[in-house]
Amino acid sequence: MTLNEPLAARLRPQTLAAVVGQTAVVGPQGLLTQLVAQQTPASVIFWGPPGVGKTTLARLYAQAFAADFVPLSAVTAGVAEIRAAVKAAESVQGLGCRTVLFLDEIHRFNKAQQDALLPHVESGLLVLVGATTENPSFSLNNALLSRTHVLVLSSLSEAELAQILQRAEALPEVGPLPLQPDARTTLLQAAHGDGRSLLNLVELLVSLQPQAALDTAALQALLPGRVALYDRAGDWHYDLISALHKSVRGSDPDAALYYLARMLQGGEDGVYLARGLVRMAVEDIGLADPTALPLAQAALQAYEKIGSPEADLALAEVVVFLALAPKSNALYTAWKAAQQLATRTAELPPPAHITNAPTKLMAELGHGAGYQYDHDAPEAFSGQDYWPTGITRPTFYQPVERGFEREMAKRMAYFAKLRTTR
């Protein structure tokens, strides 16, 4: 270890017991703790955000078994590197030494490259330790997943980051940072649960050598901007749009605004978000407030016409409106039920009296015969049967007693009563 090394490298824990956080993995009941205690190495995948200790845990895991540690990055490695690692593992196996193959960014390996690992992981020649920020369920094939244990690592809490900061300040070359208590909290929050990011910020402050204790405003002026943690094609994309949708459905406008802001700050396409709001308007509000759909469509049109940042506020307006609107999924439920019945009865023709007769032959076959023009009937309602023969009249749409659907329920009851008298 030298002073030229990054602070994060100098503070890398030397034992599993020294790891900050991740108690679900390295705590008394953690899987890694149990595997090390029993000296039974197993292949594992560390899945978690950046800066939470994936590489450190991989090194310490290998160290705990006195294993040969072979680090590779899936960004640059391929089948040739795997073969070289296998050959090296075979050579040390004869000496009674295990090999831990650490594959960083393992989600970047394609299926063929993953398949190349399988026989050696299955035989135990290689103890595979993979690290990924992507959901292994999507990025790794089932064969490899079935031969490994996926261990989920979480972002570091503010208290855990404070422990790392204390360790950094214990180093002579760092020392106590010139921070007022509020600025110290701001520094921890600025790391966003990323230990490496925190130590990089500490190094920056040390290099700047402020002459007086910094308050929050002074610290924020020195800190670099941080790009939002987001991936428009990965888990963050799907998790945050789900959180936005469920916050709207749950009538929480503040949470909905928060997730909207998270996605926009992460670079999400505003048109995609506006289309999602249109879906929410019809799925979760429907006819409980018929103005929800045109308002969502207006936001979509605004984003298509003028874009960000001007139209961001239009999305925010619709998010708040939808969150506070009366909720009903009656239309959504009715549509799903209608689709299912349509699939089951696709062979049934509509009754002849409501089909057209554009030709003489069709008229002779009875098309349109007996049709009653509703506008000529009392109250503009004939009460005819519009269902194919063989289908007992169902009731798909069942409005709730909220918002405008109260009126829809009255209309349905009105026509149902008329139908029994015609």
pLDDT, position 179: 92
**Lowest mean pLDDT segment, chosen from 19-28, 155-164, 225-234, 404-413:** 225-234
User: What would the pLDDT profile of 221-273 be if each residue is shown by its tens digit?
Assistant: 888 765 555 555 556 788 899 999 999 999 999 999 999 999 998 888 899 99
Burial of 165 from C-beta contacts in 10 A (0-12 / 13-18 / 19+): buried
Average pLDDT over residues 290-310: 93
Distances from the Cα of 160 to the Cαs of 7, 52, 58, 166, 406, in angstroms? 17, 10, 20, 10, 52
Model pLDDT for residues 302-350, shown as the tens digit of each residue: 999 888 888 999 999 999 999 999 999 999 999 999 999 999 999 898 9
- Res 1: pLDDT: 47
* Residue 133 confidence (pLDDT) above 70: yes
Average pLDDT, the chain: 90
Residue-level pLDDT at 234: 59
Amino acid (1-letter code) at residue 366: G
pLDDT at 402: 93
What is the rounded CA–CA span in Å between residue 287 and residue 292? 9
Amino acid (1-letter code) at residue 365: L
Q: Which residue has the higher pLDDT, 2 or 148?
A: 148
Asked whether residue 3 carries a pLDDT value surpassing 70, the answer given is: no
Helices (H) and strands (E) in the chain, counts: 20, 5
pLDDT for res 229: 56
Tell whether the model's pLDDT for residue 62 goes beyond 60. yes
CA distance 19 to 163: 10
Write the DSSP symbol of residue 287. G
By C-alpha distance, which of 388, 372, 420, 250 is closest to 319?
250
pLDDT for position 226: 59
Token pair in block for residue 404: 């405008």
171-180, 208-217, 268-277: segment of lowest average pLDDT: 208-217
- At residue 231, the pLDDT reads 59
Confidence bin at 42 (pLDDT 50/70/90): very high
